[in-house]
Amino acid sequence: MDKNAVCVSCVIFFLSSVSAALGQVAVNSGLSEKEAGQFAFDSEEALAVWTITGDVAIDLTKGRDGSGGSLRVGANGKALVKLRDPDESGKVELWVYDDGSGPEDPKANRIGPRWGLVQSDGKLLAAGVLYASYLGGTEGYTATACDGKHWFNQLFWLGVKRAPPGWHKWTFDFDAEDGLQILHNDQEVNAVDSDKTGLQGFSAIAIWGDAGQGDEQTVWVDDLSVTLGGPVKILPDPGEADPYDEKALAADQTIRRTVVIYSKDNSPSAPKLEDLPLRESVSQYGIAWTFERPARVGQFINGDWYVVGPVTITTIDPPPLYGSEISRRQLDRMDKERPEGQRVRNGFMLNPPAQMKVAYDSGVRNWFDPSLTKKLPVTMKPGDSLVSTISMPKGLVLHAQLRNKIERGVDDSSPIRTAAVLTCVGAPQPPDAFRPAFCDRKQRVYLARNLRRELLPTAAATRSIPKVQQYVRFTQRPWVGTCFFGFEEPVENMPQYGLEYGRVVGIAALLLCTDLKPEQKEPLLVNYVQVGIDLGGIVREGHPGWTGWGGHGSGRKLPIVFAGLLLGNDQLANINLSFPKVSFGQDEQTAYGDCWTGAKVVFTGHSGIDAATGGGRSRGSGWGPYEHTPPSQWDDGKNTSESYRRCCTSVGWVAQALAMRLMHAEKSWSHDAFFDYVDRWMYEDDAAFVKTIKEATGRDHDREWARQGQAWDAFVNEMWAKHRPTLPAPPDGWKKKHDDAYYRTAIEKSQK
């Protein structure tokens, strides 16, 4: 039997029975499924099929079309109608009259009128008017998924305006396959995630009145229609996973590959073309590329594949999906805001530009550029790089490196799970060749035989040294982030937030500066230099860099300088001098200047000093230079900057600064204020300053994680305590007067 016939039959049976008994539900067995049943509110008898609590009545003066009546629900009223016993799919349409009124204090928690679907166990999904300090209850609507008691537990800000006052059409379309969809005035509302409502269907409809005290709002409901469907398909919960935990590391063979220590005395030749394997396809990190015809392939020293071209890729697995090929239930809020023709999953880019725009996944915020979307087949010629991705499925929660959890469509999470790079070359490469930077169209090839390993210190490691294999895994997969905020960074490849980016690159460099055996260091060294090559290639191809923006923007400079030093490439080793207008967060956020604490080096604010212009960035929020002023003069923007100084930046810089000092690479870094600021962070006693800030601003920074004198990682703290005092650079440079013209100019420019 056709499921639609079943849907119509069940609703008609129910509504016909009620109609026969009470005569208040209009049913016509000849109507289509979408018009299977309609509730009329034209007489008092209409309430007979509803369970009524409190102030609920029929209002014969308020019909939506000017005739008939409507259901009026006043303060603390509730009207519920049961439709069936099982919780199944279906569609509910109703018109709600909202007069736009609100309470005197709209920022106080208050539950206004609501309407929606109810499950047999009491769970519900309702749209309506809710008030809180973080909600614009007088401006727009909120949806809530709850148990009918705790209305603020799971909220979805709908972004739908209440204005103008009047009748608004609401549709709750709970499809058996695609889940729940909400429409306002026939326009889809994207904010509600069906899988986060906790509903497996519905069996009743309810309208709740204003539950607040004073200025109570009344709402009216009319033209309520229902279509009932069958059971909802319940998707399995993708669950939560940590790709970096001990179990995952033990199962990952890519981090246990044999890495030969190549040198000038052990420098292999490139194989002959005929000696390379002839393959129909190659795969890496769950991504497989299939060629139109068998091609010669090889691997770079880090394990990434190359193919001798030209070559045509005919299929990629998992396959890229476009438009309607993507299950509606897998669409997140960003997807739904885009036209169907712009949606993409598991996308790829041939020769990604060194710009803040990508086309891997339509769930990418800010930087998604649909004009860059390509479809198979794709032909590669020597010099080309293909970056392929696997998208995050909805509901999967992945742990990021060191901290944070990432879930598609939630907060600032990336929708990309992993990425791999296939490079097309004109001839076989020697076994010690690094992969050319994926943005580098000149395809510069560096060789591991040229690594200047003698520059690596052998500082005694301390007892809290982390497992090297964890950092090998952290750096094994390509760090293909060309954008910002981590919106497009593959979760299983690289750190998501700037603070963790800085922590990972700092600790990895610090590990390479210890007395670990060369064979223990080599896999991490190869990976880390590859990260630096990729980042350097991005900069060299015209990328503007990574600006100071709270914790974002940190960490990119260190791998570039490190790779340049080890490879003997002066352009990369001296990246600031090579590209003076490129932004690096930790440099933009540190400068010499008179600090209110007496220090002579300052944190330059949430958004720092623009490397390109030399002006302090306020971003309209007062987020620029501020430490030259006392806390008594701080506004919200300056307080925000102080919070970010303590929570999300300084603690991630300690390992970076120590690694560079151990390598005596301060000159290459070419921003001395960074090193002196880190010394200040570690050596300045801030106990009295924390009290002053609290007295002046009310902000309390007296938390262990927010105090100066420490990093968040025990290994870093131990290495600092053991080795920083032994280095020739004096540890009190932060107390000495320096040329602060750069800082003073930045302040002047920020005030214009």
State pLDDT tens for residues 62-106.
999 888 999 999 999 999 999 999 999 999 999 999 999 999 999
One DSSP character per residue, 350-383 reads: ES--SSS-B-S-TT-TTTB-GGG---S-EEE-TT
Round to whole Å and give the CA distance between 180 and 182. 7
The yes-or-no verdict on residue 10 having pLDDT over 90 is no
- Residue 353's CB is within 10 A of a number of other CB atoms, namely 17
pLDDT for 36 equals 57
Q: Which helix (H) or strand (E) holds 500?
A: helix 498-512
Tell me the one-letter amino acid at 276: L
Q: pLDDT confidence of 159, banded at 50, 70, 90?
A: very high
Q: Look at residues 334, 394, 344 and name the one whose alpha carbon lies nearest to residue 370.
A: 344
pLDDT for 151 equals 97
658-706 pLDDT, tens digit each: 999 999 999 999 999 999 999 999 999 999 999 999 999 999 999 999 9
- Cis status of the peptide bond prior to 377, with omega within 30 of 0: yes
Looking at the DSSP bridge assignments, the partners of residue 281 are: 290
3-class SS at 324?
helix
Give 371: exposed, middle or buried? Use CB within 10 Å, 0-12, 13-18, 19+: exposed
Give pTM, 2 decimals.
Answer: 0.90
- Residue 594's CB is within 10 A of a number of other CB atoms, namely 16
Calculate mean pLDDT across residues 146-159.
95
The yes-or-no verdict on residue 487 having pLDDT over 60 is yes
Name the architecture of domain 3-228: Sandwich (2.60)
Q: Look at residues 358, 398, 336, 27 and name the one whose alpha carbon lies nearest to residue 187.
A: 336
3-class SS at 302?
coil
Owner of token pair 């030749």: 269
Calculate mean pLDDT across residues 524-548.
98
Round to whole Å and give the CA distance between 341 and 141. 29
Q: Which residues contact 732 (CB under 8 A, 6 or more apart)?
A: 679, 683
Q: Which residues contact 247 (CB under 8 A, 6 or more apart)?
A: none
The yes-or-no verdict on residue 393 having pLDDT over 80 is yes
pLDDT for 67 equals 86
pLDDT for 149 equals 94
Q: Look at residues 371, 401, 376 and name the one whose alpha carbon lies nearest to residue 388.
A: 376
- Annotated domain spans of the chain: 3-228, 240-251+260-452, 585-750
- Residue 133's CB is within 10 A of a number of other CB atoms, namely 8
pLDDT for 752 equals 67
Q: Look at residues 651, 631, 638 and name the one whose alpha carbon lies nearest to residue 705.
A: 651
Q: Which residues of 36-64 are buried (b: 16+ CB within 10 A; e: fewer)?
A: bbbbbbbeeebbebbebeebbbbbeebbb
Q: Which helix (H) or strand (E) holds 4?
A: helix 3-22
Q: Look at residues 144, 32, 125, 49 and name the one whose alpha carbon lies nearest to residue 87.
A: 125
**Beta-strand relationship, 219-228 and 90-98:** antiparallel
Contact 743, 604 (CB under 8 A): yes
Percentage, residues of the chain above pLDDT 70: 95
pLDDT for 3 equals 36
CA atoms within 13 A on the CB side of 52: 16
Contact 709, 682 (CB under 8 A): yes
Q: Which two tokens stand for residue 326?
A: 């993507």
Round to whole Å and give the CA distance between 189 and 185. 10
In degrees, rounded to 5, the angle at the alpha carbon of residue 271 between the alpha carbons of residues 268 and 276 is 140
Round to whole Å and give the CA distance between 146 and 671. 53
Q: pLDDT confidence of 29, banded at 50, 70, 90?
A: very low
Round to whole Å and give the CA distance between 405 and 398. 6
Q: Which two tokens stand for residue 629?
A: 């002023």
Please tell me what DSSP assigns to residue 576: H
Contact 432, 301 (CB under 8 A): yes
Owner of token pair 């929660």: 397
Tell me the one-letter amino acid at 434: F
Contact 551, 647 (CB under 8 A): yes
In the chain the first and final C-alpha atoms are separated, in Å, by 74
Q: Look at residues 183, 127, 190, 491 and name the one whose alpha carbon lies nearest to residue 328.
A: 190
- Cis status of the peptide bond prior to 310, with omega within 30 of 0: yes
Q: Which two tokens stand for residue 681?
A: 């962070």
Q: Look at residues 328, 334, 386, 397 and name the one whose alpha carbon lies nearest to residue 361.
A: 334
Q: Look at residues 73, 80, 71 and name the one whose alpha carbon lies nearest to residue 45.
A: 71
Q: Which residues contact 281 (CB under 8 A, 6 or more apart)?
A: 288, 289, 290, 291
Q: Which two tokens stand for residue 207?
A: 């309208």
Round to whole Å and give the CA distance between 183 and 458. 63
CA atoms within 13 A on the CB side of 390: 17
Please tell me what DSSP assigns to residue 549: B
Round to whole Å and give the CA distance between 291 and 431. 23
Contact 255, 413 (CB under 8 A): no
pLDDT for 27 equals 34
Tell me the one-letter amino acid at 240: E
The yes-or-no verdict on residue 632 having pLDDT over 80 is yes
- Mean pLDDT (the chain, rounded): 94
Percentage, residues of the chain above pLDDT 90: 92
